[in-house]
Amino acid sequence: MCAQPSPAQQETPPSSGGRTVLDDRDIARALTRISHEILERNKGAGDLVLLGIPSRGVPLARRIAERIAAVEGDDVPVGSLDVTMYRDDLRLKPARTLMKTEIPPGGVDGKVVVLVDDVLFSGRTIRAALDALNDVGRPAAVRLAVLVDRGHRELPIRADFVGKNLPTSLVERVRLSIAEIDGQDGVRIEGGAQ
Amino acid sequence: MKRHLLSAADLSRDDAELVLTTADEMRSLADRPIKKLPALRGRTVVNLFFEDSTRTRISFEAAAKRLSADVINFAAKGSSLSKGESLKDTALTLEAMGADAVVVRHGSSGAPHRLAHSGWVRSSVVNAGDGTHEHPTQALLDAFTMWKHLGESKPGGLEGRRVAIVGDVLHSRVARSNALLLRTLGAEVTLVAPPTLFPVGVESWPVETSYDLDGVLPKADAVMMLRVQRERMNGGFFPTPREYSRRYGLDARRMATLQDHTIVMHPGPMVRGMEITADVADSARSVIVEQVTNGVAVRMAVLYLLLGGAEPAVGGEE
């Protein structure tokens, strides 16, 4: 699930309008850099667990794991963490469809968990993710990697690894398309002043 | 607004698939250290049971508690109901206590419908079995169990699967709900019973009927045995229990005629030696215990989808 509170933003297909701010090669470079930063910060791939936040955080987490494996030769456990039931706006909307939560077999206790999401916006998704993680186990540390940070935080939350800082206005929408889900890679800004 | 689950017929194919996929996520919770989700925090679920029940009540209670709802159990015995209080007054009491959902089991067919549509309560009503009418969450958990064993990866994977429902169809709310739901999901249902234990009007159900168990078994992908509900019988429906079990009971000899992948189900409670023999009930084909486990997950899914958001995601009209 994306970081934006607007549900329409997730449902509209990645189509016309808006402008592309990152293409597939920009995304690939950003993910490679994030992967190296994670390794540098963690001093290797030991005890790392990558958890993607559905839906688009999950393929991003897999791609980061592939890059880490290519650099270090170690396979990093990858999973997904659905935050739907922990959202603070659960009561305000019709009951949402749940997404997959898959915790790798080794669990998260004592590990360094890197949460991976596509767009960091209000920070509420990440707050929900931290609550969800709390029910799964007790990691040694939790870090946050996002492809795009668009600002406008509503909670004291910040990302450790950022693909691109993208100053936006509140009326704009940031849409990530990803090959595994949408058929192609790209980040677009839609809406707002054209 | 959709906010009740009264009949399996209330569920469209999309609704049913949503419940099944949600239940699949709920089931994975059982593998986690903390088997609790915050989705229904601060909501109150009342289990209103006018009829005896073990597994359904416990199952609903576990489901509501795992979703962090507050649960009030209300059994007819030991309450004012045994002093002659009416359904209406009971309902008004629940309303005054602020129940968000009422899970109701009643001996009279239609009681949950009355509760839902009378205007007595504003809460969601979930039918947990009414008389000989319906038991939709049982049908959902049966469909979930079949999907896990027989289906493809997607929840609509029961397309074309053959399900035999055998036994006391006349008194069975499970049979009716299963027939309706399995039809919605595309499975082919055959009801097998002696002529005296078919309900009037069964020809209008979306099912095949047969009196011959041995002819049906080799083609079935799932066999669901029903309990003979003697507490609802006040006449001679068959000559002797022994004759019944010889013609309509599932024993090892009959089980040997099943296909390799066929599963044996029973909604419980079982009467071993009557409709099913002990060796069949305990065999590797039997998924009876698994049905109970899946029941909690399916009921969590139903409660979540009815109560989790501002408005329900599944259910019947109004």
Note the pLDDT tens digit of each residue in A105-115: 999 999 999 99
A-chain CB neighbours of B17 within 8 Å are: none
d(CA B289, CA B276): 15
User: How far is A89 from chain B, CA to nearest CA, in Å?
Assistant: 9
d(CA B231, CA B233): 6
User: Six-digit token pair at A171?
Assistant: 């009326």
- Beta-carbon contacts of B310 under 8 Å, excluding residues fewer than 6 positions away, are A91, A92, A93, A94
What pLDDT was estimated at residue B45? 95
Q: In terms of CA atoms, which chain B residue is nearest residue A88?
A: B39
What pLDDT was estimated at residue B314? 64
pLDDT of residue B111 exceeding 50: yes
Q: What is the mean pLDDT of residues B130-137?
A: 94
pLDDT of residue A3 exceeding 70: no
User: How far is A184 from chain B, CA to nearest CA, in Å?
Assistant: 25
Note the pLDDT tens digit of each residue in B59-84: 999 999 999 999 999 887 766 666 77
What pLDDT was estimated at residue B77? 73
What pLDDT was estimated at residue B156? 61
d(CA B224, CA B192): 10
Do the Cβ atoms of A5 and A121 come closer than 8 Å? yes
Q: What is the mean pLDDT of residues B287-296?
A: 95
Q: Where are the domains of chain A?
A: 24-169
Percent of chain A with pLDDT over 90: 73
3-state secondary structure chain B: CCCCECCHHHCCHHHHHHHHHHHHHHHHHHHCCCCCCCCCCCCEEEEEECCCCCHHHHHHHHHHHHCCCEEEEEECCCCHHHHCCCHHHHHHHHHHCCCCEEEEEECCCCHHHHHHHCCCCCCEEEEEEECCCECHHHHHHHHHHHHHHHCCCCCCCCCCCEEEEECCCCCCHHHHHHHHHHHHCCCEEEEECCHHHCCCCHHHCCCEEECCHHHHHHHCCEEEECCCCHHHCCCCCCCCHHHHHHHHCECHHHHCCCCCCCEEECCCCCCECCCECHHHHCCCCECHHHHHHHHHHHHHHHHHHHHCCCCCCCCCCC
**CA atoms within 13 A of residue A145's CA, in its CB half-sphere:** 31
Helices A24-42 & A57-72, crossing angle to 10 degrees?
Answer: 60
- What is the band of B315 on the pLDDT scale with cuts at 50, 70, 90? low
Do the Cβ atoms of B182 and B162 come closer than 8 Å? no
Contact A136 B34 (CB under 8 A): yes
The CATH number assigned to the domain with range A24-169 reads 3.40.50.2020
pLDDT of residue A2 exceeding 70: no
Q: In terms of CA atoms, which chain B residue is nearest residue A97?
A: B22
The CATH number assigned to the domain with range B136-291 reads 3.40.50.1370
Contact B313 A94 (CB under 8 A): yes
Strand partners, B148: none
What pLDDT was estimated at residue B56? 93
What pLDDT was estimated at residue B155? 62
Q: Where are the domains of chain B?
A: 8-134+293-307, 136-291
- What is the band of B318 on the pLDDT scale with cuts at 50, 70, 90? very low
Most A CBs within 10 A among B1, B3, B15, B22, hence the mutation to make, goes to B22
- Please state which of the four CATH numbers 3.40.50.1370, 3.40.50.970, 3.40.50.620, 3.30.360.10 is assigned to the domain occupying B8-134+293-307: 3.40.50.1370
What pLDDT was estimated at residue A16? 53
Note the pLDDT tens digit of each residue in B207-252: 999 999 999 999 999 999 999 998 888 778 888 889 999 999 999 9
Q: Which of B6-10, B57-61, B148-152 has the lowest mean pLDDT?
A: B148-152
Q: Which residue has the higher pLDDT, A192 or A47?
A: A47
